[in-house]
Amino acid sequence: MDPLDILTNLSMVTPHFQAIFNADERKVIGYEVLGRIKTDEGWASLGPFFRDSTIPDEYRLEVDDLVVRKALDYWLEVDTSPYIFINRNTDLLMKDHGESLLELLKVYQEKGFPLDHLVLEITEHEFTGEIERLNHLLTYYRTYGIKIAVDNVGNGAGNLDRIGLIAPDILKVDLHMLRKTNGLASYQDVLYSLSLLARKIGAALLYEEIETMYQLQYAWRNGGRYYQGFYLQSPTESFVEEYLLKAKLKQEIQHFIEHEKKKIQNIYHLSFTIQQAVQKSLQKDKKDSKGDDLIKMISNDLSAYSFRIYICDEDGFQQSANHIKAKNGWELLPTYYDKNWSWRPYFLENIMKMKLEGRGILSDLYSDIETGDMIRTFSYPIDQHQFLFIDLTYEYLYEQNAIF
């Protein structure tokens, strides 16, 4: 739409509300406020208007404030008290150091709207100023009970250090790319990293743009406390019934739980099977042997599912060559001798677990640096000083339903 058509028809500007559901109670806990304008063709989004930097700032702020006021007026009229999520362009917010927005909110606080029910959504990577100044403002907002959400996390433009500095209450993760890439493993790894970040900084994860059951399952499986998207509820002119999807979400989450339990059971069964095979091979092939001699004795027993075997000591120094399965048998790569792997995540922790518990450990799924394949590694304590590492082939993992 032409910006002038919007500015001359402000009476047609109306907030719409997109419901946000939580995982634990499966109910609507809040709404994101979205600007809409009534046209002859129906409702049109004001998103392009707000994102158009060629439009003077004061015009965009005027319309944005109007949408917020109408949304809060509606909140005061209804009997429920959900959270209200409002978006604000960070550069526009910092024009007056956030004073105009805060004054607007204080007016509604006096009318009965509790500011601890307001969530301010910002897109961190859009901010062009000094992040410390923005963080100072957000910290000040928090003294009023206002919660902070960082939007569009996971689109590749955000800086994790800046997000960590802001320490938002909520991270909004856009799942649109997950559908666009058909679940591309690299993108899933990015989202997994964000779930770890959220846990470290104490933020709740809100997955948005959920348009399929698969995306909802992914959000649930990866620590999502809140869910939003057209699969659940389209934006509406009014609030919806609080427990609108309680039965549906319970049924779907129950399905997710059963699916996850089966996968976990597969992993435990796989780990147990390999441990039994390794123990049998070691008992048969002279457990007192060390390094390359030991691997030569047991490699044929492990050939059905392994493509690389090596031994490390408790500090991560490799005590053997890399034994690589080739067409004509196993080949040795002696250049790996004495390399140290203690820098790998969880390496030393897993060594200590094996020493204390006396059993093997199956790693999570990861991309092998050398082959690029998705693999798992089974590590096993030969004794208190030698630890066997067996890299499992993708084909074997696929057969065992262990690719997830």
For the cut 70, the answer to whether the pLDDT of residue 288 exceeds it is no
162 lies in the same domain as 266: no
Distance CA 220, CA 224 (A): 5
- DSSP H helices, 236-342, are 246-284, 291-298
For the cut 60, the answer to whether the pLDDT of residue 77 exceeds it is yes
220 lies in the same domain as 288: no
Find the mean pLDDT for residues 299-306.
Answer: 92
Encode 342-356: b = buried (16+ Cβ within 10 Å), e = exposed. eeeeebeebbebbee
In-domain check, residue 239:
no
Angle between helices 213-221 and 246-284 (to 10 degrees): 60
Q: Tell me, what CATH number does 190's domain have?
A: 3.20.20.450
67 lies in the same domain as 161: yes
Percentage of the residues of the chain whose pLDDT score is greater than 90: 73
Sign of the C-alpha dihedral computed for residues 232, 236, 241 and 242 taken in this order? positive
Q: Tokens 């995306």 — which residue?
A: 215
Q: What is the pLDDT of residues 197-213, one digit of tens each?
A: 888 889 999 999 999 99
209 lies in the same domain as 94: yes
Q: What is the pLDDT of residues 318-364, one digit of tens each?
A: 999 999 999 888 999 999 999 999 998 889 999 999 999 999 999 98
- CB-based burial label for 40 (10 Å; 0-12, 13-18, 19+): exposed
205 lies in the same domain as 333: no
- DSSP H helices, 52-112, are 57-77, 90-93, 99-111
Encode 304-332: b = buried (16+ Cβ within 10 Å), e = exposed. ebbbbbbbbebebebbbbbbbbeeeebee
How far is the CA of 163 from the CAs of 136, 147, 189, 272, in angstroms? 13, 14, 18, 41
Q: Maximum Cα–Cα distance for the chain, whole Å?
A: 87
Average pLDDT of every residue of the chain: 91
For the cut 90, the answer to whether the pLDDT of residue 102 exceeds it is yes
151 lies in the same domain as 279: no
Cβ contacts of 232 within 8 Å, gap of 6 or more: 19, 21, 210, 216, 245
- DSSP letter at 364 equals -
Q: What is the pLDDT of residues 381-395, one digit of tens each?
A: 998 999 999 999 999
Q: How much of the chain is helix, strand and coil, in % rounded to 5?
A: 45, 25, 30
The domain in which residue 278 lies consists of: 260-399
Find the mean pLDDT for residues 234-242.
Answer: 96
333 lies in the same domain as 221: no
Give the residues across from 148 on adjacent strands. Answer: 120
173 lies in the same domain as 46: yes
| Domain endpoint, select from 189, 215, 232 | 232
In-domain check, residue 246:
no
pLDDT at 404: 77
For the cut 80, the answer to whether the pLDDT of residue 139 exceeds it is yes
| Domain endpoint, select from 232, 249, 277 | 232
- Least-confidence region, from 231-245, 278-292, 366-380: 278-292
In-domain check, residue 245:
no
In-domain check, residue 255:
no
184 lies in the same domain as 56: yes
For the cut 70, the answer to whether the pLDDT of residue 266 exceeds it is yes
Strands (E), 117-264: 118-122, 147-153, 170-174, 204-208, 224-227
pLDDT at 182: 56
Find the mean pLDDT for residues 26-47.
Answer: 95
Find the mean pLDDT for residues 50-71.
Answer: 94
For the cut 70, the answer to whether the pLDDT of residue 254 exceeds it is yes
Domain count, the chain: 2
Q: Tell me, what CATH number does 283's domain have?
A: 3.30.450.20
- Least-confidence region, from 39-43, 227-231, 239-243, 369-373: 369-373
Pull the structure tokens for residue 400. 């065992």
pLDDT at 379: 96
| Domain endpoint, select from 181, 216, 232 | 232
* Residue closest to 165 by CA, chosen among 196, 134, 208: 134
Concatenating the DSSP letter of every residue in 306-318 gives EEEEEEE-TTSBB
pLDDT at 162: 85
Q: What is the pLDDT of residues 105-138, one digit of tens each?
A: 999 999 999 999 999 999 888 888 899 999 999 9
39 lies in the same domain as 168: yes
In-domain check, residue 254:
no
* Residue closest to 164 by CA, chosen among 190, 191, 129, 200: 200
66 lies in the same domain as 167: yes
- Do the beta carbons of residue 224 and residue 204 sit within 8 Å? no
307 lies in the same domain as 200: no
Percentage of the residues of the chain whose pLDDT score is greater than 70: 95
Find the mean pLDDT for residues 73-89.
Answer: 96
For the cut 80, the answer to whether the pLDDT of residue 14 exceeds it is yes
Residue 154: pLDDT band (50, 70, 90) is low
Model confidence, pTM: 0.87
In-domain check, residue 96:
yes
